[in-house]
A and B are shown apart, each in its own frame.
Chain A
Amino acid sequence: MVDLDRYLKPDQKYYTAIGLEGSANKLAVGIIRHFPGQLSESNRAEVLSNIRDTYITPPGEGFLPRDTARHHRNWVVRLIKRSILESKIDIDELDCICFTKGPGMGAPLQSVVIAARTLSQLWNVPLIGVNHCIGHIEMGREITGADNPVVLYVSGGNTQVIAYSEQRYRIFGETLDIAIGNCLDRFARTLKIPNDPSPGYNIEQLAKKGKNYVELPYTVKGMDMSMSGILAYIDNLANDLFNNKKNNKIVFNEDGSPKITVEDLCFSLQETLFAMLVEITERAMAHVGSQQVLIVGGVGCNERLQEMMKIMVLDRKGYIFATDERFCIDNGIMIAHAGLLEYRMLGEGFDLKDTVCTQRFRTDEVHVKWRD
């Protein structure tokens, strides 16, 4: 077991950290408390505050990084104030200020790290940069108690199957092109459905009313998968449906009446994409010899994905872990948690020059010092 208290000061009763997340369209602040000793069933991290404000765009619209960055810039101070108020902590109790170093969108990451650097100099509290995905994994493990799961990380920007080995979270299989969340969001745009609370959520509600399954390309290659082909194919079907292209026999019957509905398309897209995810996850489990699966990332809140994964995992007599939207959607508490773990091992913060954000930041680049 790794000693997490090598830098515990004699009179220190707990550790406290604040986490700032803004790699995509969600700005989030979280404050967490660890008590000395190993994290376990009996020694859980305490969530003091976990608030989030999502930059919403009108239906059919994507979001420009500059507007997202502006949203983060103009809300971050208010959110931090509210979070500290809510957590009832005193500023000088803070051991470190954690921020998302990457991966993510450049401009939004920048807005948040400037706030973090300013606070660090204002309060003289060390800075810790956190890999967004490691945040999801560590928070997922802490909340669900899964000690060594295969992790399926599915969000707007990422699609990865990850397994821990030798102090690294290694990427087992991943998307060869666009992330699953991105695929769902862009299809939502084609359908012009609202982005509030999230395009993925609205696709899920439509999919629940879908009845007949439309055959879509199934593109798994070994441990990886690709989705841009599926998106192009289903976009085409949707456009033919909207533009009444009667010659498309998949979409229209002989008599010209539509054979499928938007709900059917959403249903079929989910069935195909999630089947691919569950397949590569099962392959990773068999390979690593693990019986646990943890789903993290925004798309992890999808009930159909959780249901399909559960069927597979129970079939293998394993266990499935998923978190609710407080944790599986981008949040600040996960950055605080992962950052605090790093801080407890380092005993000091990053130099200012090391707090530069990066849009590309692979999960297996991080040395996981806090696990043996």
Chain B
Amino acid sequence: MPSAQYISPDQELLFKTNQLDTSQLSTIGITSGPSEYVKIDRDQPSEAKDTFYGKLRCKITNLQDQLNIFLTEQMGKEKNDKDIVELEKKLLDGNDDE
């Protein structure tokens, strides 16, 4: 079962896939969708096959969602919304103009 550990000065957390029944999971993550720019999305990840690796992909997608949500909340604590959008843009787009 894939897991991820978060260690910071004031807390330590262990993340695991929170959905045991893999049939509920998919490779389409909540946090890894396209930006609102994209009208027709042709770049979804491929469907997961019913194999060990297929299931692993779904679990990791789920784990990644949990991490993204948790980290975004962490950012939210100190900054107000405008900074978050700015910080997120910097993180995601690496201040390359398109």
Contacts and interface: CB of A to CB of B under 8 A. Distances in A.
A and B touch in the complex (CB under 8 A): yes
Chain B binding surface SS class: loop
B35 interface: yes
Nearest to B57: A77
A359 B37 contact: no
A347 interface: no
Interface string B36-60: 0111100111100000000000000
A71 interface: yes
B35 A105 contact: no
B96 A74 contact: no
Q: Which of A67, A69, A71 has the most CB of B within 10 A?
A: A67
Interface residues of A, number: 21
Contacts of B45: 73-74
Interface in A66-110: 66-67, 69-71, 73-75, 78, 105-107
A67 B37 CA distance: 9
A107 B46 contact: no
The dominant DSSP class at the A interface is helix
A62 interface: yes
Contacts of A105: 94, 96
B12 interface: no
A58 interface: yes
B76 interface: no
Nearest to A65: B93
Interface string A36-72: 0000000000000000000101100111111101110
Interface in B64-98: 92-96, 98
A64 B93 contact: yes
Given A74-B44, A74-B45, A67 B96 contact: no
Interface centre among B38, B44, B93, B96 (most CB of A within 10 A): B96
A107 B93 contact: yes
Given A65-B93, A66-B92, A67-B34, A74 B98 contact: no
Contacts, number: 50
Contacts of A67: 34-35, 37-38, 43
B3 interface: no
Contacts of B39: 58
Contacts of A55: 43
A65 B43 contact: no
Contact of A107 (B37, B43, B94): B94
Contacts of A71: 43
A78 B32 contact: no
A229 to B, nearest CB: 18
B22 to A, nearest CB: 20
Given A58-B39, A70-B32, A65 B92 contact: yes
A65 B91 CA distance: 10
A58 B94 CA distance: 22
Contact of B93 (A58, A61, A66): A66
Given A105-B96, A359-B94, 19 more contacts: A55-B43, A57-B37, A58-B40, A63-B98, A64-B35, A64-B98, A66-B35, A67-B35, A69-B92, A70-B32, A70-B43, A73-B45, A74-B46, A75-B43, A106-B93, A106-B94, A106-B95, A107-B92, A107-B93
Interface of A: 55, 57-58, 61-67, 69-71, 73-75, 78, 105-107, 359
Interface of B: 32, 34-35, 37-40, 43-46, 92-96, 98
